A and B are shown apart, each in its own frame.
Chain A
Amino acid sequence: MSDVIEVRALRKSFGRTRALDGLDLGVRAGEVHAFLGPNGAGKTTTIRILLGLLRKDGGEARLLGGDPWQHATRLHARLAYVPGDVTLWPGLTGGEIIDLMARLRGPGSAIDPKRRQALMERFALDPTKKARAYSKGNRQKVALIAALASDAELLLLDEPTAGLDPLMEAAFRECVNDERHGGRTVLLSSHILSEAEALSDRVTIIRDGRAVETGTLAEMRHLTRNLVDAELAGPVSLDGVPGVHDLVVQGTHVRCEVDHAALNDVLGRLTAARVLSLTCRPPTLEELFLRHYSSERPVAGAPR
């Protein structure tokens, strides 16, 4: 089955600023795909190109099998979008805006009143309030309910939990899990790693307009090193052993990063020196992230 979103070597500049510099992104049907990156990495620009709001400078972008620029309106009938910074018309109520967005998606995309009501209760939103009276979190909820209540096959969510309190964030995660089981495809842009870790099937990490890593979390960890932290009875020499990085030895305390291929060899050397305590774990997404975004090379596990 072809990908719902296929982006290859996508480029986009605003004047001198290069927002996207050869981005690749593939989102498969039915998966929750996290699109991770810090502010300014190009996440929103990518989504705007996918929505046909911005024109790409180069590369390829296909959405639901169509060209997002040429067939924008036709494709939009099949997707729902939650912008990163939700602004609403101050004079309209939340309920009106939710209905309006559904109707603008075209005939046949009317929302199920029961689902609308259920979501309203789940997110504790008062639909009779004028949008000017809503807080940032409530505006976010309006946009989320409008998207989740639709029967669009693809959800584009740009940092959807910014402004939600932890309780509402939990409600949002439940909803996304429901969507996954319902077979919808979700592209979830975020800079919150725990969110991606909890929700996504696959992850693309983007930095300076380019995808630096993509795959399932398991795959990505496979690419990375293990963090080894051991307390030994005697001294051990790991200097110059291939596959060992960032070695720190403080007396009998050893800390280092070890490539997967070298793990067995290193553990052998450690047990030879008698291990008193040992932790060996994959890096957390935070540590991956730090590695991708710190200007220096690996900091994960480095001593402070």
Chain B
Amino acid sequence: MTVLARPGWAAPGLTGTGDLTRLALRRDRIGLAAGVYVIVVAVAGTAYAFKRLYPTAAGRAALAATGGGNPALRFLYGRIDGDSIGSLTTWRYGIWAGIFAALMTIFVVIRHTRTDEEAGRLELVGSAVVGRQAALAAGLLTAAAASVGVSVLLCVALPLAGLPAAGSAALALAIGCCGLAFAGIAAVAAQLTSGARSARGIALGALGVAFVLRGVGDSAGASGPSWLSWASPLAWIQLTRPFAGPRWWVLGLPLAVFAVGTALAFVLAARRDLGAGLLPDRPGRATASRLLSSPFGLAWRLEWATLLGWVTGYVFTFAACGAAAKGIGQLFGTSSALQREFTRLGGQAAITNAYLAALMLLAGLVAAAYATATVLRLRSEETGELAEPVLATATGRIRWALSQIVVAVAGTVVLLAAAGVATGLGYGLRVGSAGHQVAQLLGAAFAQLPATLAVAAVAVLLFGLWPGAAVPGAWTAVGLAVAIELFGQVLQLSHWILDISPFTHAPRLPGGTVTAGPLLWLCAVALALSAAGLAGLRRRDIG
């Protein structure tokens, strides 16, 4: 008789989990290592920086008082328990490390479950001796391995940065458990829809809700709904109080979410067909609307939902960051080293202006990433053989490419406008001059536009001339600009290197001066790079 299941597994549905997990770890080895590294370095580096910047108890107490007293900062970073270096680290990076860990596990779980299923890879795998729930188990195991990796490395790194061992362990475990909780949530999301994109949307939506819930709870005063924080897995990291008498039992909450999510996902997975979701696919239009009748209409149709997500993120982030601008001077007044650094990063003017200018620079840098990703869709449409049928119609190459580029530019304008208006409102409403601040910061945001487009134009250039290098090359350009802007001055690089980044030439607003020259130059560079790219596209083979 033939033995169908391999020995060693009690449940035949899980047969092959080990092989699939090894495959997942093999496919993700670079991304996971990078993700774990970033989280560990961010948290341990923050602890080290606090130790260096705030050597005295008085300085730390002042920082804790201002940081903990500013509701906008509490919305962004959460509550402060105590004024030890560990407490400050937990405040500044506890939630954000949790967010990064959650992003990592969400992407891992969906990628190895619903993405593979939608692409039909699971069908291939499923026809081998592999149980129907092995992929789900493998995705969860991979995400769990990453979470455990974060916890273990932080347990080692935080004491090395000078934090007490018990508190370090509590913080490390809290961050890892947060990642686990969202792995459980993502596992359920992956069962609900038939598309990986919407599954990811559900899981990321849950993360967004968790952030806002705890933001409202954390920023509420004593009489406000501070209990809301308890409803958010992100807040559980700080509610563990790692460096202020750890409450170890709080760690049970994310573990329970992970366990319940995992169990629910397995139950749901057992009840549905391969490829199907629990939520029905809504039928769409049987005919195309008027809008969908040109390459531009197509590009807009493909991009608007993504843009909406970016705009939402921009509005919330920059409104909160703008609101935090009031009183930012006192916050940094307690550390002269940090103050010096911050002033240098943002410009010569007052610290508030420097902070706002740094925010606008950040808006430009992130918008450059958006614009680059949007331009690079041209390349993915080409390699995905979606460009071919369009170019086989009366649509010319240049018109096709320009449609996507116009959407990218328009999206960038909208994003920068959102950053300017949101920051202006967030700050202006608190200082009582909303109209003036909105106008000033809108201008400051738009001053970043030429530099942003110059970075994205590299993607157009490469797509036209060296399509094979377009994706890595364009992202290298973005990474270079980010690295130069964030670390260039701190590392005291030569101005030759600093000048490579278009953002070095953008005015620092508010507070700085504007000269038309560099802006026009940047526009000219963006146009020239794009024109060269389009000229290359006319000449080269497609596909």
Question: Are A and B co-members of a single complex?
Answer: yes
Q: CA–CA, A97 to B287, complex, Å?
A: 8
Inter-chain contact B285/A93, CB cutoff 8 Å: yes
A51-86 contact mask (Cβ, 8 Å, vs B): 1 or 0: 111110000000000000000111011010101011
Q: Which residues of A are found within 8 Å of B331, using beta-carbon distances?
A: none
Known: A81-B392, A104-B295. A54 touches B542 (CB 8 A): yes
Q: Which residues of A are found within 8 Å of B541, using beta-carbon distances?
A: 53-55
How distant is B113 from chain A, measured CB to nearest CB, in Å? 16
Q: CA–CA, A79 to B283, complex, Å?
A: 31
Choice from B286, B302, B389 contacting A81 with Cβ under 8 Å? B389
Choice from A88, A99, A105, A132 contacting B288 with Cβ under 8 Å? A99
Inter-chain contact A129/B284, CB cutoff 8 Å: yes
Known: A100-B298, A104-B294. A55 touches B539 (CB 8 A): yes
Inter-chain contact A48/B543, CB cutoff 8 Å: yes
Choice from B284, B301, B389, B392 contacting A130 with Cβ under 8 Å? B284
Choice from A74, A76, A85 contacting B385 with Cβ under 8 Å? A85
When C-beta atoms are compared, the residue in chain A nearest to B399 turns out to be A73
Inter-chain contact A101/B394, CB cutoff 8 Å: no
When C-beta atoms are compared, the residue in chain B nearest to A109 turns out to be B394
Q: CA–CA, A143 to B389, complex, Å?
A: 9
Q: Which residues of B are found within 8 Å of A91, using beta-carbon distances?
A: 197, 301-302, 305
Known: A53-B542, A54-B541, A96-B292. A132 touches B287 (CB 8 A): no
Inter-chain contact A104/B390, CB cutoff 8 Å: yes
Q: Which residues of A are found within 8 Å of B391, using beta-carbon distances?
A: 51-53, 72
Q: CA–CA, A260 to B389, complex, Å?
A: 46
Q: CA–CA, A98 to B287, complex, Å?
A: 8
Chain A contact residue count (CB 8 A cutoff) = 44
Question: Interface extent on B, as a size class?
Answer: 35 or more
Decide if A183 is an interface residue (CB 8 Å cutoff). Answer: no
Inter-chain contact A104/B395, CB cutoff 8 Å: yes
Decide if B281 is an interface residue (CB 8 Å cutoff). Answer: yes
Q: CA–CA, A97 to B390, complex, Å?
A: 11
Inter-chain contact B285/A104, CB cutoff 8 Å: no
Task: Kindly name the residue among A53, A83, A104 whose own CB sees the greatest number of chain B CB atoms within 10 A.
Answer: A104
How distant is B382 from chain A, measured CB to nearest CB, in Å? 10
Q: Which residues of B are found within 8 Å of A118, using beta-carbon distances?
A: none
Choice from A55, A87, A106, A143 contacting B394 with Cβ under 8 Å? A106
Known: A54-B542, A54-B543, A105-B394. A96 touches B287 (CB 8 A): yes
Inter-chain contact A74/B281, CB cutoff 8 Å: no
Inter-chain contact A90/B195, CB cutoff 8 Å: yes
Q: Which residues of B are found within 8 Å of A130, using beta-carbon distances?
A: 195, 281, 284
When C-beta atoms are compared, the residue in chain B nearest to A156 turns out to be B392
Q: Which residues of A are found within 8 Å of B165, using beta-carbon distances?
A: none
Decide if A133 is an interface residue (CB 8 Å cutoff). Answer: yes
Inter-chain contact A53/B285, CB cutoff 8 Å: no
Decide if A103 is an interface residue (CB 8 Å cutoff). Answer: yes
Q: Which residues of B are found within 8 Å of A89, using beta-carbon distances?
A: 298, 302, 386
How distant is B231 from chain A, measured CB to nearest CB, in Å? 33
Decide if B56 is an interface residue (CB 8 Å cutoff). Answer: no
Inter-chain contact A92/B301, CB cutoff 8 Å: yes
Decide if B223 is an interface residue (CB 8 Å cutoff). Answer: no
Q: Which residues of A are found within 8 Å of B294, using beta-carbon distances?
A: 103-104
Q: CA–CA, A22 to B56, complex, Å?
A: 81
Q: Which residues of B are found within 8 Å of A106, using beta-carbon distances?
A: 393-394
Q: Which residues of A are found within 8 Å of B542, using beta-carbon distances?
A: 48, 53-54
Q: Which residues of A are found within 8 Å of B293, using beta-carbon distances?
A: 99-100, 103-104
Decide if B479 is an interface residue (CB 8 Å cutoff). Answer: no
Decide if B384 is an interface residue (CB 8 Å cutoff). Answer: yes
Q: CA–CA, A139 to B42, complex, Å?
A: 46
Known: A54-B543, A92-B301. A128 touches B389 (CB 8 A): no
How distant is B299 from chain A, measured CB to nearest CB, in Å? 11
Inter-chain contact A83/B389, CB cutoff 8 Å: yes
Decide if B116 is an interface residue (CB 8 Å cutoff). Answer: no
Known: A81-B389, A83-B389, A104-B390. A72 touches B396 (CB 8 A): yes
Tell me the A residues contacting B by CB distance below 8 Å. Answer: 48, 51-55, 72-74, 76-77, 79, 81, 83, 85-93, 95-101, 103-106, 109, 126-130, 132-133, 143, 156
Q: Which 8 interchain pairs have the tightest Cβ spacing?
A: A99-B288, A93-B284, A106-B394, A128-B283, A104-B393, A81-B392, A103-B293, A95-B286
Query: Can you name 6 A-B pairs with beta carbons within 8 Å?
Result: A48-B388, A96-B285, A96-B289, A99-B287, A130-B195, A132-B118
